Amino acid sequence: MSRSDIPEWVRLACNRWGRQKRRIWQGRDTYVNSQGAIRRHIDGYSESFMGRILDERVAAGQSGASAQRWAEVYFGDGLEVQRALVGMPESTYDAIHVKYVWDPEFNLSWSDRAKIIGMKERVFWEAVGRAEFWVFARLDPTACDASLPLRRESATKQSITATLPKFSPADLNLTALNRTKLTVTG
């Protein structure tokens, strides 16, 4: 089975696993704020002073004291992929980590990444294909969120009004709003 025969949902599940594992390894996550800028959140540390007061109590404004509370866990598709990796041969295990967990901010080409684990680029992509097939053979498609079909529909004003039921305010039954008054005697 070639790499092109692997369903897209397997790659999506591996991608989610890679993001979760990268966050565990680095202790941080990147996100896009409301202005569109890329920001980083360091796990375990509150971002606001009020959050630090809640987390650290008396030592909130003092240096040297910190609280670290975050779960080091996989969830959803990431958990399913992590469980599927058990028993994978070392070369394919290394290849799937370089493909999905490697931080894209390092800006290395695929051939440079392959050299780091001692492979030529062609051998690297073959190993990635074997790793994806390994995961595909062990994943339950009904348990993966990534296996659900993705729908991209563009709604037009005409299609929205065509699907809405036609009614007038006179058709509404307002008896449910006319509740009896309760009195408490005691």
Q: How far apart are CA 84 and CA 140, in angstroms?
A: 10
Q: Are 44 and 36 in contact (CB under 8 A)?
A: no
Phi, then psi, of 32 in degrees rounded to 5: -105, 125
Cβ count near 165 (within 10 Å): 5
pLDDT of residue 105: 75
User: Cα(first)–Cα(last) distance of the chain, in Å?
Assistant: 77
Three-class secondary structure of residue 1 per DSSP: coil
Give per-residue pLDDT as tens, 15-55: 999 988 888 787 777 777 788 887 776 665 555 555 556 55
Domain ranges of the chain: 3-147
| Residue-level pLDDT, tens digit, the chain, 186 residues | 667 788 889 999 999 999 888 887 877 777 777 888 877 766 655 555 555 565 555 555 555 545 555 555 788 888 999 999 999 999 999 999 999 998 777 888 999 999 999 999 999 999 999 999 999 999 887 777 766 654 444 444 444 444 445 555 555 555 555 555 556 675
Distance, C-alpha 32 to centroid of its chain = 14
Q: Are 28 and 103 in contact (CB under 8 A)?
A: no
pLDDT of residue 104: 76
Burial group, residue 159, by CB count within 10 angstroms (0-12, 13-18, 19+): exposed
Q: How far apart are CA 131 and CA 141, in angstroms?
A: 17
Entry pTM: 0.61
Which helix (DSSP H) or strand (DSSP E) does residue 84 occupy? helix 77-84
Contacts of 78 (CB under 8 A, 6+ apart): 13, 16, 17, 19, 20, 21
CA-wise closest residue to 97 among 147, 24, 44, 28: 24
